[in-house]
Structure 1
Amino acid sequence: MLKPGRPRHEQLSDWLREQIEQGVYEVDSRLPSESQLGKRFGVSRITVRRALQTLENEGLIYRRQGLGSFVRDQRVRQGLVRLTDFVEDMTQAGLTPSSQVLFHGPVPAPPEVARALGLDEGTTVIRLDRRRLGNGEPVAFDRTWLPVFYAQLLEGHDLETETIYHILEHNYGVPVLRGRYRIEAVNADAELAATLGVAEGRALLLITRLSTTHGDRHIYYQQRYYRSDRVAYELELERDPRRLPSAAHGLPLRDFEPVFNL
């Protein structure tokens, strides 16, 4: 029930906002009607409408005449046909990117990493773990392995504010020319759950990426775990490849984009 002291419409909008954020009401699901909310909380229809107007102004819901109020899909689109880094993705989506370095140091290359980077198993590589945030909220966790040669170029740089792409390209003239991606669904173990602020066993989107430069030299191998409630991928295909620009090399792929929900 609502408590005295604060305007009732603010308390009601807070309660509805919390229900939406907790996933009680999913995207495009209908909220209780104005009369239902009024009866439940003992408030007038005007109070309910003010609360709903607040949520609509915040972009959390949309209303349809005669049908009611629905949870809005807040995901922001931005493209992935062009190779981009996390900061570029977030900035283009209108979100403020930031990172937290959780680990940065030498480790023996695990078998999967060694194969990807063309190294012997157990070769020393540098591992960089970062929690990636959009508007201050956890969006992803990156675990990146770099050969020592490229890792040493990152020394002295603030890896919470600078990206690997930017450092290598702008400071050392090492362009990241190609990325090979693999996308799959995984469940969060205890470490990932704690890092991303989700329940253990929660579905995550794992994107494995191998980035290369001139001569097909491997710069890094990365595993990025996206919160599945905050990112999805949309794919747009072109049936007639002749309609695509030449840069697409004839592939029937017009757009492939992550969609953020923050």
Structure 2
Amino acid sequence: MKKYQVIANQIRERILSGVYPPKTMIPDQKQFAEEFDVSMITVKKALDGLAREGLIYKKSGLGTFVLGKIPLGDAYDSPANAFDGLSAQQGADHVESVPLLFELAFPTPEIAEKLDCKTSEPIYDILRLRKLNDKPFILEHTYMPVRLVPDLTKKILTQSIYQYIHNDLKLVFGGAYRKIHASEPTELDQQYLGAGEHTPMLEVEQVVWLTNGENVEYSTSRNVFDQRSYTVIDVNDF
């Protein structure tokens, strides 16, 4: 576990246990850096993650405050701007990743456009069923350039691709464009997610790029409409 994740876990526990009550200010980055003996950049990364979860919010010139319980939240929800993946959000012990397809391929013109690569460049074509607490949860179809994510294996697919990218390849995501929309069920949704013929589905389509601007992933993640939502925390920081 990274240092910033350890720090985030400790601050999160303090918030949930009431050490830092709702609507109160928490220590500043410098104080946390001194307490945990880390850089302020590491502390900022930890706090940014907690902000994405909706636990804290920052007010320019004032400090960082505990937001408190959000009445719209659900344990299975995901921040719409998260970059840590399902295993990190729900806990690796609760998530099982089942590879349904894993092959090298050449992208179609449509996929090549999403990845900003040539149709002659090899990519991974990956389909995974993500289970949460032994129940089908998300059907994930992912395309990645082999050049950017070398040596990907089926064993890695059963764990966390994002952890492999961050921890082993030392690559950092620069950003993502995500489109969230409703959809009709496909045959795969019915087969693997237990959707009915007319069950509404929720799909997240995304392109993720690295800090150098190269597109590292194009993917779609689909779930039954009432299994998961995507949340946005919006703070009016005037």
Q: Aligned partners of 2:176, 2:135: CA distance in 1, in Å? A: 26
Aligned residue for 2:157, secondary structure, equals coil
Number of the residue aligned with 2:95: 97
Aligned residue for 1:158, secondary structure, equals helix
> Contact 1:181/1:208 (CA < 8 Å) preserved in 2?
yes
Aligned residue for 1:225, secondary structure, equals strand
Alignment partner of 1:116 is 2:114: yes
Q: Which 4+ runs in 1 deviate beyond 6 A?
A: none
Aligned residue for 2:230, secondary structure, equals strand
Number of the residue aligned with 2:88: 88
How far 1:75 moved relative to its partner?
Answer: 3.5
Aligned residue for 2:150, secondary structure, equals helix
Aligned residue for 2:212, secondary structure, equals helix
- Deviation readout 1:13-33 (Å, 9 max, x if unpaired): xxxxxxxxxxxxxxxxxxxxx
- Deviation readout 1:40-88 (Å, 9 max, x if unpaired): xxxxxxxxxxxxxxxxxxxxxxxxxxxxxxxxx9941554444221112
> Contact 1:108/1:124 (CA < 8 Å) preserved in 2?
yes
Number of the residue aligned with 1:246: none
Q: Aligned partners of 2:115, 2:137: CA distance in 1, in Å? A: 26
Counterparts of 1:101-250 in structure 2, within 5 Å, are 101-121=99-119, 123-155=121-153, 157-161=155-159, 163-238=160-235, 240-242=236-238
Counterparts of 1:52-67 in structure 2, within 5 Å, are none
How far 1:181 moved relative to its partner?
Answer: 0.8
Q: Aligned partners of 1:74, 1:211: CA distance in 2, in Å? A: 25
Q: Aligned partners of 1:74, 1:233: CA distance in 2, in Å? A: 10
Q: Which moved more, 1:109-118 or 1:151-160?
A: 151-160
How far 1:122 moved relative to its partner?
Answer: 6.1
Counterparts of 1:24-35 in structure 2, within 5 Å, are none
The alpha-carbon distance between structure 1 residues 193 and 226, as it changes in their structure 2 partners (threshold 3 A), is same
The alpha-carbon distance between structure 1 residues 235 and 218, as it changes in their structure 2 partners (threshold 3 A), is closer
Larger RCO (CA within 8 A; separation ≥ 6): 2
> Contact 2:78/2:230 (CA < 8 Å) preserved in 1?
no
Q: How many correspondences in the alignment?
A: 166
> Contact 1:187/1:202 (CA < 8 Å) preserved in 2?
yes
TM norm structure 2: 0.62
